[in-house]
Amino acid sequence: MEKYWSKLTKALSPYVPGEQPQDRKYLKLNTNENPFPPSDKVLTKVKDSVSDALRLYPDPNASRLKKAIANYYGIKEDNVFVGNGSDEVLAFSFLAFFKDKAPLSFPDITYSFYPVYCDIFEIESSLFSLDKDFSIDINKIPEKSGGIIFPNPNAPTGICLNLSDIETILHRFPNIVVIVDEAYIDFGGISSITLTEKYPNLLVVQTFSKSRSLAGLRVGFAIGHLGLIQALNRVKNSFNSYPLDNLAIEGAIAAIEDNEYFTHCCEAIIETRDYLIKELVSLSFQVLPSKANFLFVKHQKLDAALIYRELRENGILVRHFNKPTIDNFLRITIGKQEDMHLLVKCLKTIIDSNKI
Ligand SMILES: *Cc1c(COP(=O)(O)O)cnc(C)c1O
């Protein structure tokens, strides 16, 4: 059948998301989903939106959602772009800012969708290595960059760069676009959104999937100078006029307006993260300092692949990346407190039963 495929399609190596197996019920700690349900206000709004109005196209500009996001961050609606998950916002950004401007620079250990977008859009990339402690060393960003992107906190390490380092990057590269992917910023990091007014080359991308418990609704957004937002609108309007459906628009507005529930969930996850760090350290894990809703950990004796397998057999899914330098690490999503008790109990059993 491949004879029908384009050369580009044949050459792709698509992104592989964390597994969502259906064979049994798992405790899912492998895709950084939020363990708490969406706010009740979101569920009510989405249910109310299942109506005759679905006959009509949604607002192509999702203007009320942009206003709600702008209101939340104290910025203008003109500085907000929304899309079908931040993955789509990122894809549009690659086309708008990086195509024909190669090479795009990003860390060698980072969100694995970046190289996939480079492949499909035929953008050259230039990888720079992380420091020995797995943090981003801004001095390693290549001088000859046509664009820069990194998650903050980085994935899958969970390590955060501070704002002064990000400002140093923006000063050093005023003529290219710098994207800060803040998928996990609400779990204790400091957002770069405050820098977007001062730096016309900074685009901050966020998502409703992690901190707002809405991975299934597919809503992401970007914040930046008007010039950047206009470029994204041109790309979006050359691809799909309606990336957000009625339900997504209504649900996302309700989510960003329910600040109380959001804050409560984020605080609970941060507290549970502190608990899990203590437990894992006492079980002889090395734990990287995380500002995300996951931990990146390595056991001092046992192989990550073995722990991954045995957890899976016990109904607990975590993420293992078969990639040099991180193949002995596991990425574990922070769940509810009781989920973490179960995980720790299971890890204790695995460690005990594998003692030589
Ligand atoms: C989860 C994630 C995204 C994508 O989120 P969606 O909004 O669900 O598409 C983007 N960047 C990073 C680093 C992520 O971990």
Residue 198 lies in a domain: yes
- Atom nearest to 210 CA in ligand 1: 1
- Confidence at residue 356, expressed as pLDDT on a 0 to 100 scale: 58
Q: In the listed set 257, 278, 296, which residue is the last one of a domain according to the structure? A: 257
Q: Is any ligand 1 atom within 6 A of the Cβ of residue 87?
A: yes
- Is there a single domain that holds both residue 224 and residue 265? no
Confidence band for 17, pLDDT divided at 50, 70 and 90: confident
Confidence band for 18, pLDDT divided at 50, 70 and 90: confident
Residue 160 lies in a domain: yes
Q: In the listed set 187, 222, 257, which residue is the last one of a domain according to the structure? A: 257
Residue 119 has pLDDT above 90, yes or no: yes
Q: In the listed set 226, 257, 288, which residue is the last one of a domain according to the structure? A: 257
Q: Kindly report the backbone phi and psi dihedral angles of residue 48, in degrees, each rounded to the nearest multiple of 5, phi listed first.
A: -65, -25
Strand partners, 19: none
Q: Which residue has its alpha carbon closest to ligand 1 atom 12?
A: 183
Ligand 1 pocket mutation pick from 209, 290, 294, 333 by most atoms within 8 angstroms of CB: 209
Residue 13 lies in a domain: no
- Confidence at residue 31, expressed as pLDDT on a 0 to 100 scale: 94
Instruction: State the average pLDDT over residues 265-289.
Output: 98
Confidence band for 84, pLDDT divided at 50, 70 and 90: very high
- Is there a single domain that holds both residue 253 and residue 296? no
- Confidence at residue 298, expressed as pLDDT on a 0 to 100 scale: 98
pLDDT single digits (tens) 226-272: 999 999 999 999 999 999 999 999 999 999 999 999 999 999 999 99
CATH of the domain at 345: 3.90.1150.10
Owning domain of residue 338? 19-37+260-353
User: How many distinct structural domains can be found in the chain?
Assistant: 2
Q: Give whole-number Cα distances, 281 to 134, 277, 355, in Å.
A: 18, 6, 17
DSSP label of 97:
I
CATH of the domain at 85: 3.40.640.10
Q: Which residue has its alpha carbon closest to ligand 1 atom 15?
A: 183
pLDDT single digits (tens) 290-323: 999 999 999 999 999 999 999 999 999 999 998 8
- Is there a single domain that holds both residue 96 and residue 159? yes
pLDDT single digits (tens) 26-49: 999 999 999 999 999 999 999 999
Residue 6 lies in a domain: no
What pTM was estimated for this model as a whole? 0.96
Residue 90 has pLDDT above 70, yes or no: yes
Residue 5 lies in a domain: no
- Atom nearest to 151 CA in ligand 1: 13
- Confidence at residue 274, expressed as pLDDT on a 0 to 100 scale: 98
* Run of H or E including 332: strand 330-333
Residue 170 has pLDDT above 70, yes or no: yes
Q: Which residue has its alpha carbon closest to ligand 1 atom 11?
A: 183
- Is there a single domain that holds both residue 51 and residue 155? yes
In the Cβ-directed half-sphere of 8, how many Cα atoms lie within 13 Å? 8
